[in-house]
């Protein structure tokens, strides 16, 4: 099975030209799988005038099916409206396995369901953490239980994410594997010359939304600026909470110490990171956080909230953790500033090369594919019988 070559269909509503952790994960994983000799095809919805079949680096074929996003880059749920085109792609590309990404992706759920109906093996990767109490999470968890009831294998990006997914979906833990994200260290290199410490620059690059802790930044930034006259902030990103940050800057007269960049293209992220000393992540929930890897690869010391899978990402000497509380975050930033002179960006970059590598992620994913294809399918009657027995024993 080690030499078996797969024909994989990656499915998600989230892909380029949109930018984010899921989009990067699908792209880099696909490129590495292509290098390993597998055939990879991506299925996503149209983005603006980008519709039809496109080819990317390495011969990666992308189907931008002509559906426009309905809400938050997701297509409108239709259940069976997508079946004809998904079936056509599966047969045309002679797909052997379907790999869906992200629990919030409508297209992912429908593709997994249709693929299993046609007898294909399916793998699902969850990239986020969800709760259990709010209305949105309750409905999402019910959808997940329905879709993943017959999934062959599942992948999570951290152990915390695995626990969360198993609880939400009811999947047997033995079916779920943990494979972390990675970073392209060749793209994220430290600055050629080491920055001085006369002025300390703290960088924030994030979507400015509640879930990413933008409200925490509103309280943390003024206090840090008051304590350290030589500290300056660079904030990259856009979102509904940007207005609050702009108001904070005006209220405390910090226009010359808090630079608001707006949305930062992924190609420009490195140039922003290498202009700083500390990377600040204020997320309230996070399954993994690729942004931390990119910052560490550029040689920045990270200060982050202790949430989700973040404590699993970096060694203790490369990150300072804090509770998602303004006072504790200020304490963590103080600690980071005190140990900043001990940080060597090039040494940190070299360590990241060994810790996270997309080729390693692809090889581990390949093992999951091999195990998925070795699974013997139970008949529908057997699966229903097993499910009824479990219900009767409750």
Tell me the mean pLDDT in the region 143-168: 89
Tell me the mean pLDDT in the region 253-270: 91
CA distances from 98 to 4, 29, 92, 369 (A): 16, 14, 14, 10
Residues 218 and 193 sit within 8 Å (Cβ to Cβ): no
Residue 147's CATH number: 3.40.50.2000
Gap between the Cα atoms of 89 and 44, Å rounded:
12
Residues 234 and 261 sit within 8 Å (Cβ to Cβ): yes
User: Per the domain annotation, does 188 fall within a domain?
Assistant: no
Give the pLDDT confidence of 307-326 residue by residue, as tens digits.
989 999 999 999 999 999 99
31, 161: one domain: yes
User: Per the domain annotation, does 192 fall within a domain?
Assistant: no
Residue 145: band (very low, low, confident or very high) from pLDDT cuts 50, 70, 90: confident
66, 91: one domain: yes
Residue 2: band (very low, low, confident or very high) from pLDDT cuts 50, 70, 90: very low
Give the pLDDT confidence of 186-244 residue by residue, as tens digits.
999 998 888 887 899 999 999 898 989 999 999 999 999 999 999 999 999 998 999 99
Residues sharing a CB contact under 8 Å with residue 4, sequence separation 6 or more, in sequence order? 370, 373
**Helix or strand (DSSP H, E) at 379:** none
Is 147 or 217 the better-scoring residue by pLDDT?
217
User: Per the domain annotation, does 193 fall within a domain?
Assistant: no
CA distances from 315 to 21, 261, 270, 321, 355 (A): 21, 30, 22, 11, 10
Give the pLDDT confidence of 60-90 residue by residue, as tens digits.
999 999 888 877 777 877 878 889 999 999 9
Q: Write down the pLDDT at residue 1.
A: 43
How many independent structural domains does the chain possess?
Answer: 2
175, 57: one domain: yes
Q: Which domain holds residue 204?
A: 200-354
Give the pLDDT confidence of 130-141 residue by residue, as tens digits.
777 777 678 778
280, 258: one domain: yes
Task: Find, among 251, 270, 256, the residue nearest to 199 by Cα.
Answer: 256
Its sign, for the CA torsion 26, 31, 37, 41, is positive
User: Per the domain annotation, does 311 fall within a domain?
Assistant: yes
Q: Write down the pLDDT at residue 159.
A: 92
Task: Find, among 310, 301, 228, 298, the residue nearest to 268 by Cα.
Answer: 298
């Amino acid at each position: 099975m080690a030499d078996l070559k797969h024909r994989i269909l990656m499915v998600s509503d989230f892909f380029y030209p949109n930018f984010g952790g899921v989009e990067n994960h699908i792209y880099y994983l696909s490129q590495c799988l292509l290098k390993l000799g597998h055939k990879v095809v991506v299925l996503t919805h149209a983005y603006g005038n980008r519709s039809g079949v496109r080819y990317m680096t390495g011969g990666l074929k992308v189907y931008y099916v002509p559906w426009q996003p309905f809400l938050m880059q997701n297509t409108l749920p239709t259940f069976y409206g997508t079946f004809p085109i998904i079936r056509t792609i599966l047969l045309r590309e002679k797909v052997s396995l379907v790999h869906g990404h992200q629990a919030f992706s409508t297209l992912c759920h429908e593709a997994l369901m249709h693929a299993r109906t046609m007898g294909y093996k399916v793998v699902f990767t969850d990239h986020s953490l969800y709760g259990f109490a709010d209305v949105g999470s309750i409905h999402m968890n019910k959808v997940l239980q329905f879709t993943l009831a017959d999934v062959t294998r599942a992948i999570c990006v951290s152990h915390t994410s695995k626990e969360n997914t198993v609880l939400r979906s009811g999947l047997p833990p033995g079916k779920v594997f943990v494979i972390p994200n990675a970073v392209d260290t060749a793209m994220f290199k430290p600055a050629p010359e080491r920055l001085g410490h006369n002025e300390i620059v703290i960088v924030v690059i994030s979507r400015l939304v509640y879930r990413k802790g933008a409200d925490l930044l509103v309280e943390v930034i003024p206090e840090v600026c008051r304590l350290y006259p030589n500290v300056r902030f660079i904030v990259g990103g856009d979102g509904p909470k940007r207005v609050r940050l702009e108001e904070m800057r005006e209220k405390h007269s910090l226009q010359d110490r808090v630079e608001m960049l707006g949305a930062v293209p992924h190609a420009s992220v490195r140039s922003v990171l290498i202009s700083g000393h500390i990377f600040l992540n204020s997320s309230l929930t996070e399954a993994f956080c690729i942004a931390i890897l990119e910052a560490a690869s550029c040689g920045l010391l990270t200060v982050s909230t202790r949430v989700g899978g973040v404590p699993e990402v970096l060694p203790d000497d490369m990150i300072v953790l804090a509770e998602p509380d303004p006072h504790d975050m200020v304490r963590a930033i103080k600690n980071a500033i005190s140990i900043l002179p001990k940080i060597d960006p090039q040494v940190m970059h070299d360590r990241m090369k060994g810790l996270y590598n997309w080729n390693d992620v692809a090889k581990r994913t390949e093992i999951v594919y091999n195990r998925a294809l070795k699974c013997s399918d139970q008949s529908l009657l057997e699966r229903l019988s097993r499910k009824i027995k479990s219900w009767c024993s409750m």
